[in-house]
């Protein structure tokens, strides 16, 4: 277990370092941006200073969401592999259509075909159709489709789609775990309290993004002087 914790800490450090580098690079790029659109911000009651911070938050958020999702999904897979080292990521042929030609299984352990997601906030109705096809194809290959999603989306339409997907999984004798149920499922399945380990790691870390944004505010004030 200590070896797994070390791997998770190293993974968190690598993602954190890469995220910070991406944010720094984007901030440098933004210095050369055309900010003439701030006129419209001001028309709408948003000051130039606020507009700059909003743009930085927006760009930071894009990287953050991407890295957060990839990190959690990789961390969860490490836990599954810790308990079941023979488990693999694989693809299965789409037997019900041509697009896509294959469907990916994040972690295949014997008959259990796990899809690991940190959050699914889609509001696209076509997503239901694609997911319906995916679980049917996986079932046709002799596997049990299991969705493990750690965080529910916030918007009502996206939540409704997740409720529909849960029904789809039940319809093919699959399993669907969302929110706290997902954390509990992973712990019961692997014996690893991932949420507890990540909480420990989080409590040891110093936030970097908030510091960077404070520095940006200071830079704006310097420019005004």
Q: pLDDT by residue (tens digit) across 174-191?
A: 999 999 999 999 999 999
- Per-residue pLDDT, averaged over 19-33, amounts to 90
Cα–Cα distance for residue pair 52/41, rounded to 1 Å: 10
Paired sense of beta strands 102-109 and 88-93, if any = antiparallel
pLDDT at 44: 95
Residue-range domains of the chain with CATH = 1-72+205-225 (no CATH), 84-192 (3.40.1350)
Specify whether the CB–CB gap between 179 and 162 falls below 8 A: no
Overall pTM > 0.75: yes
- Per-residue pLDDT, averaged over 96-101, amounts to 89
State pLDDT tens for residues 136-175.
999 999 999 999 999 999 899 989 999 999 999 999 999 9
Residue 220: pLDDT band (50, 70, 90) is very low
């Amino acid at each position: 277990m200590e070896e797994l914790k070390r791997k998770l800490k190293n993974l968190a450090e690598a993602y954190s370092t890469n995220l910070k580098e991406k944010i720094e690079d984007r901030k440098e790029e933004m210095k050369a941006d055309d900010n003439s659109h701030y006129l419209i911000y001001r028309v709408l009651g948003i000051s130039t200073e606020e507009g700059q911070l909003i743009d930085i938050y927006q760009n930071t958020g894009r990287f953050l969401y991407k890295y957060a999702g990839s990190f959690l999904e990789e961390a969860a897979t490490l836990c599954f592999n810790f308990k079941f080292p023979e488990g693999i990521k694989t693809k299965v042929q789409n037997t019900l259509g041509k697009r896509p030609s294959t469907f990916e299984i994040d972690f295949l352990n014997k008959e259990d075909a796990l899809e690991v997601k940190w959050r699914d906030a889609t509001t696209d109705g076509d997503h239901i159709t694609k997911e319906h096809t995916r679980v049917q194809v996986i079932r046709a290959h002799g596997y049990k489709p299991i969705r493990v999603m750690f965080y529910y989306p916030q918007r009502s339409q996206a939540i409704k789609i997740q409720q529909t997907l849960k029904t789809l999984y039940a319809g093919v004798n699959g399993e669907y775990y969302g929110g706290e149920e997902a954390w509990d499922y992973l712990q019961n399945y692997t014996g690893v309290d991932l949420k507890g380990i990540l909480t420990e790691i989080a409590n040891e870390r110093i936030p970097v993004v908030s510091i960077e944004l404070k520095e940006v505010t200071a830079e704006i004030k310097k420019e005004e002087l």
